[in-house]
Structure 1
Amino acid sequence: MSDSRYSYDENAEVWPYFAMTLLSLVLVPSTWKATIRAIQSEKDYSPKFENGYRPENYDEVEKFRVKNRKSKIFTKTNALIALGWIILIMVAYFIYVQETPEDLKRFDPYEILGIPYSATDREIKSRYRKLSLKFHPDKIRNLVNTTREVMEAQFVEMTKAYKSLTDEDTRKNYLEYGHPDGPQPMKHGIALPKWLVEEKGSPLVILGYGFLVGVALPFVVWSWWSGTKQYTKNGIHTITATNIFEKFAKSNLDNVTFDSLIRLLANSQEYKILFPKIDKDTVYDYLLAYLSREKVEDEIKKLALVCRSVTILEGMLDIAAAFKNVALVRKIISLTQAFAQALPPESSELLQLPIIDKERAIRSGCTLKSLFSLNAKELQNLLGISSGEDLKVARAVASQIPSIEILDAFFKVPGEASVTPNSIAHLVIKFRPVYAGCTLPPPDPKDLEEVDNDVTIKKPLSTNDIAPQLQPIYAPYLPVYLRPKWTVLLVNPRENKTIEHLSTVTRMYTDGKVSTYKVQLSAPMPDQTGQYRFLVELKSNAYIGADAVRPVVLNIEPAAKVEEIEDDISDPEEDSIAGAMAQLRGGKTKKSTVGSPAEYDSEEEEESSSEEEDSDTDINTDTEDEGQT
């Protein structure tokens, strides 16, 4: 039977468990998310290449980096999570030290009698006999009433425990209902003390409940909903994404300039949220000052704006990819390189080097690779470097800037030797980074082959994750550490458009080994045989002059013909059930091989006459057959 009356949690028997459950439901996922964010933050701040060079605003850049790093760890959210765990630990300790009420304890006859679960009937009876001599009411002498009541209650429990193990009916109740007395009454309780609900505390409870349901919960839901809706999956604000899309949709994309892209960037909603009083023209001036490596009065504000620009440019590139205009995509990637190196777009790759004379470097027309073919004196004159120490620093930086060498690029269908019409293929790129001043041997032809196995056939793109992840780049002016990556473009040169979604290479071997990257093509191959020519481009987001391009030919070969297998299944006989069904459907049948009775008779007569002939004659049939043959 169940008790319909409600009881209050006067002895704090229920509410600690209720509070612990609610805290766990909130803290566990929040802590997991915060931990992933902290780990990712530590990865972003991996050690970068150092060469002793310090730009003019080095102190401000380092100050901003340290502040930005701390802000990702010591946040208000993380503080609330830590406070929640402290409360959870306190509640757990309260539950641990609190004694469990008698009516909430689980009835365990073995525990009550103090015997193991493997005890035999003889051991159970012996143990009960000893306890009876100690706790039987007739054996209790000279005890106060309260102690006597406790001893009597213990004796009753021991008797129930003994019966639940020895008496058949009592044991049946224990096994079925968990108690020797059968079903126990069920209590419906409120996990709050009575004084908090029915006395002076009731207005406080009503107020707290109203605040929780009417204010706090809607605010949390609204914050979460608005947070998910305000930013795209690329991490940029929806207003920013809308402005960028509308600008590209209304413009002649082939004639978009770098200045228009910078002004479009300056109009981003992220800057208005970061600095509400700032206007787009001021943001534009700050961004130009950064690209010119000029210090401004509020250097920290400039660095904060540049920090947001890296994410916005990535989102701008994704939006531009939807228009499939190669010229626009290339310009946005060039602008990303410019922000990484704090240089005007499409600058000379030599300007990435520190302590050089910009005018001399531009007039020289040299590349990073050509620097290592000159002697020290020629380099000092070419780059306008006065001391040998400064020359070492410039060379050290140049040796850390890679250029990509595409060794081969081809289309491949997993498990097949050729690409056939309407097949599903992927683009395979074999490449390796080459650093200035380093001469690599020719690649091993085996490294350029694409060998199919069970893993690559089932998961062709699994080879993209074999190589190690690239470390943050050397960019002394950039206020955040940026991991390098190369965007893969598959271009149709006739229409000057991309024909596949953009993908990025973030892993490669840096010791001269050949790396492999595959792009899963979203559309089937053409339905006609022939050759189709494309361009494969790898565009860096971090370095100027580190891009690569290579033509690739798609050769569609005819599919192998499948030999026709002859049908050995003959037509059904006309007298059979299958033949009748075939005739109803208008199918073909053959005459029955089973003869009529007359035919049987004639066959029997022929057989009998032949036997008579065989008996009258003495001819060796085997010899005759051999003679005939």
Structure 2
Amino acid sequence: MSFKDTFTKDDQKEGLLGYDDTAFYYFFSSVIVTVAVPWTCSTIYNALFPGQAQVEKDFPTKSKAGSRYRYCSSSAMTDKVDQARKSARFANAGSKAGSVIKLLVLVGLWMTLYLMYLQIGDAKEIKRFDPFEILEISPGASATEVKKAYRKLSLIYHPDKNPDDPLAANRFMQITKAHNALTDETAKANFEKYGNPDGPQTSKVGIGLPRFLLEKDNHLIILCLFFFLLLFVVPMAFICYYQRTKNYAANGVMIETLQFMGYYINEATRLKNCPELLAASAESRTMALRPSDNQELKTLGSQVTEHKKRQFKLPIIIKNDYLLLAHMQRLHGSMSAELRADLDELLKHSLKISQAMIEIACMREWFFTAQAMIEFRRSLIQGLDVKSSQLLQIPHFNEEILKHCLKGKNATSTLTDYLQKDPEQRKGLATMTPDQIADVEAFATHVSNMELKAITEVEDEQEIVVGDIATVSVQLTRRNLQEGEAMGPVHAPLFPEPKFEEWWIFLVEGAPNTRIIAFERIRDTERVVETKMRFQISRPGKHSLTVHALCDSYVGLDQKVDLNFIAKTENEVKREIFVHPEDEDLDLQPTLFQQFMGELGGDDDSEEEEDEEKKKKEKVEKLSDGKQQKAESDDDKKDDSDSSGSESEGD
């Protein structure tokens, strides 16, 4: 029996006697560190600044481009931010049970890491054959001490005295090998030269596996656990995830809602139809009904103005329709706390659902329908009814103040005109306090003063020809922002969440078709935003297009630019293909493959080229010699003919 049979990591023979868990300690400690360190930092940060992470997510200080967000400084929006901070702190401190569980888990991770550190600190280098360690003697022990230690351990670990210990036999063989390595000359020489008495041997090193995974007694348990995880836990996790996500589309809207909206939205759908459509969405119908809602809705319903005949009779749809109409008509004071919470939940769903409604209209190329969906979206954000005045978006404005703004000198009815006036010329401020006037001024400086520019061109061409891909370049500039600034959340004190403004750009055919040719959704809040829309020219003649820029957060900021151009036929415009001189030079350059082949067969090619040149020279010389001989023969013939002619004349 060789040393290899008794001192390897063979599980059948050695029984993990020489197995080393150091690699597993390092691996497991690394895993714990990657989890515990960031979790600990997050816990400490949340403890020192409760709710700050959520506030920074909802109200960031800088955009992705590094620009500083400008926030509205009106009292309503300042209070909203402060309330969001308080709510975040309360939510962070309110879940005490969850915090305690997380803290206990975190403490357990650090305790485990400490235990791993102790194990690593006691660990030695990878185990090797050491006869002194096996015999439990010092390296300088004499032959007598070696023999004495061998006899002592042999009596302890002899297999006959340990019939029930499977490791005793392996241990006895190691003791025997250690004794031979110190007493036998050949074995001793091999040990001193190769590190083991049998000469050069290969070693086995495990990769981060703990000892209990390799012990024979645990194989059945580990195998059962493996199959339990593989055949039960993983499929159940996948099934649960699928059950939670199968009802939702990629945009976060329930598939049932998309199907419902796709069926009921048509080219005649307008703003007055939208509240009931949103109330009939799948997200809305999953909300709960309380017995107390009946009496509260009767009181609220007596104050709500409905603009169309109700289409759906389901109680939850009727309830949520009333809530949306009451929000748009600013009847929040007539709602109970429970109804206000239901309204906030519904408004949170409204952003994704209204986004889907806009996209459905865009895909069907219905501009007026898409415009109505955007109007509905901003009516929910600002709390405006179907026919409400744009000026109600201004802080502290009500119906009484509107009457003063709509009559007399400097009267105005649109938000843009009101904001462009000097503060001294703005009406409706006479009855306001200085703080309220400051809120109006803060709102006026915060609302985007957008400038729209658009041009139509065919890239790298002077003329527009049928079949070309035309490009409409659109530029939006927020003139009220400075360099390095970005537009922060919109002024929307009635909306439960912070909302950043978005702009929809539509390229529309001129009247009477008003078909959407192309559209873009712009979410960039930087000072200058640029986008391009491309379409194919399908017919010759004059084209009249309009670029519409619609804001989804404010009413009255929409802008448009008319684009007129003439498309010519291919016969009217002759285009020459221009090739740059540098491109011509590139054509003369050998390709990479040609260069590679040229390097391999360079000598052969040069010899062939020399042979071809020699052949060409010889051919040219032969041709020149032939021409010279022919010329000489022609001269001889001519001389002969001349001499014969002179003889005939003499005769």
TM-score range, shorter chain: 0.5 to 0.7
Quote how far apart the aligned CAs of 1:499 are: 1.0
Q: Tell me the residue number matched to 2:299.
A: none
- Does structure 1 residue 97 correspond to structure 2 residue 118? yes
Q: Tell me the residue number matched to 2:75.
A: 52
**Which region of structure 1 is more displaced relative to structure 2, 287-296 or 148-157?**
148-157
> Are the counterparts in 2 of residues 360 and 384 from structure 1 also a CA contact under 8 Å?
no
- Does structure 1 residue 232 correspond to structure 2 residue 249? yes
The percent of aligned pairs where both chains have the same amino acid is: 17
> Are the counterparts in 2 of residues 487 and 540 from structure 1 also a CA contact under 8 Å?
yes
Quote how far apart the aligned CAs of 1:330 are: 0.4
- Does structure 1 residue 404 correspond to structure 2 residue 450? yes
> Aligned partners of 1:45 and 1:88: how far apart in 2?
33
> Are the counterparts in 2 of residues 485 and 504 from structure 1 also a CA contact under 8 Å?
yes
SS of corresponding position for 2:545:
strand
Judging changes above 3 Å, is the alpha-carbon distance between structure 1 residues 3 and 12 closer, same or farther for their aligned structure 2 residues? Answer: closer
SS of corresponding position for 2:496:
coil
- Does structure 1 residue 291 correspond to structure 2 residue 328? yes
Quote how far apart the aligned CAs of 1:165 are: 13
**Which region of structure 1 is more displaced relative to structure 2, 294-303 or 227-236?**
227-236
- Does structure 1 residue 193 correspond to structure 2 residue 212? yes
Q: Tell me the residue number matched to 1:496.
A: 514
Judging changes above 3 Å, is the alpha-carbon distance between structure 1 residues 257 and 4 closer, same or farther for their aligned structure 2 residues? Answer: same
> Aligned partners of 2:208 and 2:424: how far apart in 1?
90
SS of corresponding position for 2:75:
coil
> Aligned partners of 1:329 and 1:194: how far apart in 2?
63
Quote how far apart the aligned CAs of 1:331 are: 0.6
> Aligned partners of 1:276 and 1:181: how far apart in 2?
81
Letter in 1 for 2:381: A
Quote how far apart the aligned CAs of 1:339 are: 1.2
> Are the counterparts in 2 of residues 528 and 556 from structure 1 also a CA contact under 8 Å?
yes
> Are the counterparts in 2 of residues 410 and 554 from structure 1 also a CA contact under 8 Å?
no
- Does structure 1 residue 542 correspond to structure 2 residue 587? no
Q: Tell me the residue number matched to 2:341.
A: 300
> Are the counterparts in 2 of residues 291 and 342 from structure 1 also a CA contact under 8 Å?
yes
> Aligned partners of 1:598 and 1:383: how far apart in 2?
107
> Are the counterparts in 1 of residues 191 and 199 from structure 2 also a CA contact under 8 Å?
no
> Aligned partners of 2:93 and 2:487: how far apart in 1?
24
Judging changes above 3 Å, is the alpha-carbon distance between structure 1 residues 3 and 330 closer, same or farther for their aligned structure 2 residues? Answer: same
SS of corresponding position for 2:264:
helix
Q: Tell me the residue number matched to 1:356.
A: 397
Quote how far apart the aligned CAs of 1:357 are: 3.2
Superimposed CA distance per residue, residues 231-258 of structure 1 (whole angstroms, 9 cap, x where no aligned partner)? 222221111111111212xx4x1x2132
Letter in 2 for 1:232: A
TM-score (norm 2): 0.60
Quote how far apart the aligned CAs of 1:485 are: 1.5
> Aligned partners of 1:65 and 1:245: how far apart in 2?
39
Judging changes above 3 Å, is the alpha-carbon distance between structure 1 residues 74 and 231 closer, same or farther for their aligned structure 2 residues? Answer: farther
Judging changes above 3 Å, is the alpha-carbon distance between structure 1 residues 415 and 602 closer, same or farther for their aligned structure 2 residues? Answer: closer
- 1:523-542 pair list within 5 angstroms: 523=535, 525-526=536-537, 530-542=541-553
> Are the counterparts in 1 of residues 21 and 208 from structure 2 also a CA contact under 8 Å?
no
SS of corresponding position for 1:320:
helix
> Are the counterparts in 2 of residues 421 and 559 from structure 1 also a CA contact under 8 Å?
no
SS of corresponding position for 2:276:
helix
Judging changes above 3 Å, is the alpha-carbon distance between structure 1 residues 187 and 12 closer, same or farther for their aligned structure 2 residues? Answer: closer
- Does structure 1 residue 366 correspond to structure 2 residue 413? yes
SS of corresponding position for 1:535:
strand
Letter in 1 for 2:564: V
**Which region of structure 1 is more displaced relative to structure 2, 262-271 or 218-227?**
218-227
> Aligned partners of 1:429 and 1:88: how far apart in 2?
55
> Aligned partners of 1:105 and 1:549: how far apart in 2?
76
Superimposed CA distance per residue, residues 474-509 of structure 1 (whole angstroms, 9 cap, x where no aligned partner)? 111111100112111111124212111432142332
Judging changes above 3 Å, is the alpha-carbon distance between structure 1 residues 79 and 302 closer, same or farther for their aligned structure 2 residues? Answer: farther
SS of corresponding position for 2:375:
helix
> Aligned partners of 1:424 and 1:155: how far apart in 2?
90
> Aligned partners of 1:349 and 1:391: how far apart in 2?
18
- 1:534-613 pair list within 5 angstroms: 534-556=545-567, 558=573, 560-562=575-577, 603-604=628-629, 606-607=631-632
Superimposed CA distance per residue, residues 183-235 of structure 1 (whole angstroms, 9 cap, x where no aligned partner)? 23688998563899848x978x7886676445532232123333443322222
> Are the counterparts in 1 of residues 378 and 554 from structure 2 also a CA contact under 8 Å?
yes
- Does structure 1 residue 243 correspond to structure 2 residue 260? yes
- Does structure 1 residue 321 correspond to structure 2 residue 337? no
Q: Tell me the residue number matched to 1:587.
A: none
Quote how far apart the aligned CAs of 1:322 are: 1.2
Unaligned runs of at least 5 residues, structure 1: 110-133, 174-178, 441-465, 510-514, 565-592, 614-629
> Aligned partners of 1:79 and 1:426: how far apart in 2?
59
Quote how far apart the aligned CAs of 1:538 are: 0.9
- 1:256-295 pair list within 5 angstroms: 256-273=269-286, 275=288, 279-295=316-332
> Aligned partners of 1:553 and 1:72: how far apart in 2?
57
Q: Tell me the residue number matched to 1:623.
A: none
> Are the counterparts in 2 of residues 412 and 419 from structure 1 also a CA contact under 8 Å?
yes
**Which region of structure 1 is more displaced relative to structure 2, 306-315 or 4-13?**
4-13
> Aligned partners of 2:107 and 2:241: how far apart in 1?
25
Judging changes above 3 Å, is the alpha-carbon distance between structure 1 residues 96 and 598 closer, same or farther for their aligned structure 2 residues? Answer: closer
Quote how far apart the aligned CAs of 1:321 are: 1.5
Superimposed CA distance per residue, residues 131-169 of structure 1 (whole angstroms, 9 cap, x where no aligned partner)? xxx9344499799959x9999979989x99x999997xx
Letter in 2 for 1:560: R
SS of corresponding position for 1:411:
strand
> Aligned partners of 2:279 and 2:245: how far apart in 1?
23
Superimposed CA distance per residue, residues 313-336 of structure 1 (whole angstroms, 9 cap, x where no aligned partner)? 122222222111011100111111
Judging changes above 3 Å, is the alpha-carbon distance between structure 1 residues 482 and 166 closer, same or farther for their aligned structure 2 residues? Answer: same
> Aligned partners of 1:400 and 1:102: how far apart in 2?
65
SS of corresponding position for 2:530:
strand
Letter in 2 for 1:3: D
> Are the counterparts in 2 of residues 421 and 528 from structure 1 also a CA contact under 8 Å?
yes
SS of corresponding position for 1:135:
coil
Quote how far apart the aligned CAs of 1:70 are: 7.2
Q: Tell me the residue number matched to 2:531.
A: 518
Q: Tell me the residue number matched to 1:449.
A: none
> Aligned partners of 1:340 and 1:373: how far apart in 2?
23
Judging changes above 3 Å, is the alpha-carbon distance between structure 1 residues 210 and 599 closer, same or farther for their aligned structure 2 residues? Answer: closer
> Are the counterparts in 2 of residues 349 and 545 from structure 1 also a CA contact under 8 Å?
yes
> Are the counterparts in 2 of residues 426 and 519 from structure 1 also a CA contact under 8 Å?
yes
> Are the counterparts in 1 of residues 280 and 317 from structure 2 also a CA contact under 8 Å?
yes
> Are the counterparts in 2 of residues 338 and 346 from structure 1 also a CA contact under 8 Å?
no
> Are the counterparts in 2 of residues 12 and 193 from structure 1 also a CA contact under 8 Å?
no
TM-score (norm 1): 0.62
Counterpart pick for 1:135 among 136, 139, 146:
139
> Are the counterparts in 2 of residues 245 and 319 from structure 1 also a CA contact under 8 Å?
yes
- 1:146-185 pair list within 5 angstroms: 181-184=200-203
SS of corresponding position for 2:12:
strand
- 1:376-415 pair list within 5 angstroms: 379=426, 382=428, 385-406=431-452, 408-414=453-459
RMSD in angstroms over aligned alpha carbons? 5.8
Judging changes above 3 Å, is the alpha-carbon distance between structure 1 residues 184 and 344 closer, same or farther for their aligned structure 2 residues? Answer: same
Judging changes above 3 Å, is the alpha-carbon distance between structure 1 residues 68 and 309 closer, same or farther for their aligned structure 2 residues? Answer: farther
> Aligned partners of 1:423 and 1:40: how far apart in 2?
49
Counterpart pick for 2:473 among 399, 424, 428:
428
> Aligned partners of 2:190 and 2:121: how far apart in 1?
23
> Aligned partners of 2:447 and 2:23: how far apart in 1?
64
Judging changes above 3 Å, is the alpha-carbon distance between structure 1 residues 71 and 350 closer, same or farther for their aligned structure 2 residues? Answer: same
